[in-house]
Structure 1
Amino acid sequence: MTRANRLSDLATWIVREGSIEIEDVTERFGVSASTARRDLDALADQQFVQRTRGGAQIASGSGDLPLRYTVVRHEAQKQVIASAAAALVQQGTVVGFNGGTTTTAVAHQLGIRMAAEHPERSEVLTVVTNAVNIAAELVVRPQLRVVVTGGVARPWSYELVGPLADAIFPQIDITTLFLGVNALDVERGVFTQHDGEAATNAALVRAARRVVVVADSSKLGARAFVRICGLKDVDELLTDSGADASMCASVTAAGVQVTIA
């Protein structure tokens, strides 16, 4: 296991348990006590945990994983989903992205595709996003016109949230929104971990003609803190081959097209 993957798993574990001891880390990951301490120190340096005597506990307000740690989770599935999602985009449309690892992967693939298909053209596609990392990656592509919302940046997800972000959405028309989520529940809808992100993401949904949820199979049936929207507001779920067949059937029965990448 690489250190990046170990830190990702360690961060997930701390979110779930609330606190851990050095001995727990050494036993779970098969590392030395000094390596366990260095890993916890690295998470503490990022203000994700607070070090305690003999271990660490989750820092106040750290209810979700920072993007820099979640990016390595289910990476292969996210890349498959990203390639399939980028292929759905038509020239001349307006594409929306909220923040997250899967939407970041989709945006990356879309930028590559547009550059390859239109090397000599400019602004063949408009992208609207509240994620500053996505905007920073795509703004160097002359084929894309990048529109960034206002708002307050969250260091965990790089998303702009709040009233300044929400104000723009009633004024724009998004053809297709690629929506990243933390969890999908057939009865209740799609969820994220942060209330500010949920409100801004819901505003993105209202501004979109078509909403495509891009979520790897681990998100189906998972739980998260706050609801973004119901499945009635979702047109398509794009997921990977690891998705549970009965869950996919239930999502289809709810009126959502399910596409397995």
Structure 2
Amino acid sequence: MNRSERLGHLINMVVEQGAVTIDEIVDQLEVSGATARRDLDMLAKQQLLIRTRGGARANSATGDLPLRYRTSRQSGEKIRLAKAAVDLIKPGSTISLNGGTTMTELAFELGIRSDQDERFQHDPVTVVTNAINIANDLTVRDNIRVVCTGGVARTRSYELVGTLASLILPRINIDLAFFGFDGLSARDGFFTHNAEEAAINQSMIVRAKQVVAVGDHTKLAQTAFAKICDFSKVDHLLIGAGAAPEIYETLQRNGMATTVILDNKE
């Protein structure tokens, strides 16, 4: 396990448990006590957790973890979601992607598919994105045209936000808009932690003929700070399995067209 992966696992421990001790870190991550202390001190300086005597606790003010520390969470589920999402993309179409780990996996899968499927080679896909990491990853693909919105980059999500990011969107048409989210409430719709990111998502959704929301099961039955949209704006939901069955039943009763992506062994 390299340092980036270790820090990601450490953040996960703090978020999921609420607090950790040095002994727990040493035991679960198989590192020395000195390494555990250095890692906690570094994450505390970034305000991702609060240092305590003998350990650390979650920082309740930090709901939006930096992307580099979130890549290992629900990774297998997100890969399966990404593959199901790419199955919906037609050659020659224009799609949009916002930021986040699920959309990053989708972009990676699309890049592979564009190299392997001759249809995409003859009729390239256009990707509109406000995520600079996704734009960087896809620009090297000969079979994908990348349109990047303007704006100011957020260090936590690598997304471009602000007035400049919204100028281009009213002037383009999108066939299929994909968006990831931080929370989904069966009553209130889709949410994200940042209001500026929510505004860009809304602009992409308005310009799209069809809209697909994609998220892992941990996003269900919760909200975040900023609302992206109601269910009425979304044509299809791709969601991972693993949440309580009644949550999926509620979504379907509310008229949400939902595809639940099962584990490989299922």
After TM superposition, is the score higher than 0.5?
yes
2:76 corresponds in structure 1 to 76
1:148 corresponds in structure 2 to 148
Task: Determine the C-alpha separation between the residues in 2 that align with 1:50 and 1:220.
Answer: 27
TM-score (norm 2): 0.85
2:215 corresponds in structure 1 to 215
The answer to which of 123-132 and 16-25 deviates more is 16-25
Task: Determine the C-alpha separation between the residues in 2 that align with 1:221 and 1:125.
Answer: 34
Q: Return 5+ residue gaps in structure 1 as ranges.
A: none
1:133 corresponds in structure 2 to 133
Q: Secondary structure at the match of 1:237?
A: strand
Task: Determine the C-alpha separation between the residues in 2 that align with 1:204 and 1:119.
Answer: 26
Count, aligned residues: 261
Q: Secondary structure at the match of 1:255?
A: coil
Q: How does 1:101-250 map to 2 (within 5 A)?
A: 101-118=101-118, 121=121, 124-250=124-250
Closer/same/farther in 2, CA of residues 245 and 16 from structure 1, 3 Å limit:
closer
The answer to which of 198-207 and 35-44 deviates more is 35-44
- What is the CA distance between 1:92 and its match in structure 2? 1.3
- What is the CA distance between 1:82 and its match in structure 2? 0.7
Task: Determine the C-alpha separation between the residues in 2 that align with 1:125 and 1:241.
Answer: 29
- What is the CA distance between 1:106 and its match in structure 2? 0.7
Closer/same/farther in 2, CA of residues 19 and 89 from structure 1, 3 Å limit:
same
Q: Return 5+ residue gaps in structure 2 as ranges.
A: 262-266
Q: How does 1:26-65 map to 2 (within 5 A)?
A: 32-44=32-44, 48-49=48-49, 62-65=62-65
- What is the CA distance between 1:11 and its match in structure 2? 2.2
Deviations 1:66-90 (A, max 9, x none): 1111110000000111111111100
> Does the 8 Å contact 1:232/1:254 carry over to 2?
no
The answer to which of 159-168 and 42-51 deviates more is 42-51
The answer to which of 49-58 and 91-100 deviates more is 49-58
- What is the CA distance between 1:191 and its match in structure 2? 0.8
Task: Determine the C-alpha separation between the residues in 2 that align with 1:106 and 1:199.
Answer: 21
> Does the 8 Å contact 1:15/1:63 carry over to 2?
no
Report the AA paired with residue 82 of structure 2. Answer: A
> Does the 8 Å contact 1:213/1:234 carry over to 2?
yes
- What is the CA distance between 1:8 and its match in structure 2? 2.6
Closer/same/farther in 2, CA of residues 30 and 91 from structure 1, 3 Å limit:
closer
Task: Determine the C-alpha separation between the residues in 2 that align with 1:243 and 1:87.
Answer: 24
Task: Determine the C-alpha separation between the residues in 1 that align with 2:11 and 2:194.
Answer: 17
- What is the CA distance between 1:48 and its match in structure 2? 3.8
Q: Secondary structure at the match of 2:248?
A: helix
> Does the 8 Å contact 1:179/1:213 carry over to 2?
yes
- What is the CA distance between 1:137 and its match in structure 2? 0.6
Report the AA paired with residue 104 of structure 1. Answer: T
Closer/same/farther in 2, CA of residues 77 and 20 from structure 1, 3 Å limit:
closer
How many percent of aligned residue pairs carry the same amino acid? Answer: 44
Report the AA paired with residue 220 of structure 2. Answer: L
Task: Determine the C-alpha separation between the residues in 2 that align with 1:16 and 1:81.
Answer: 22
> Does the 8 Å contact 2:91/2:123 carry over to 1?
no
> Does the 8 Å contact 2:91/2:119 carry over to 1?
no
Deviations 1:132-184 (A, max 9, x none): 01000111111111000011101111000111111222111111111101111
Report the AA paired with residue 227 of structure 1. Answer: K
Task: Determine the C-alpha separation between the residues in 1 that align with 2:226 and 2:122.
Answer: 39
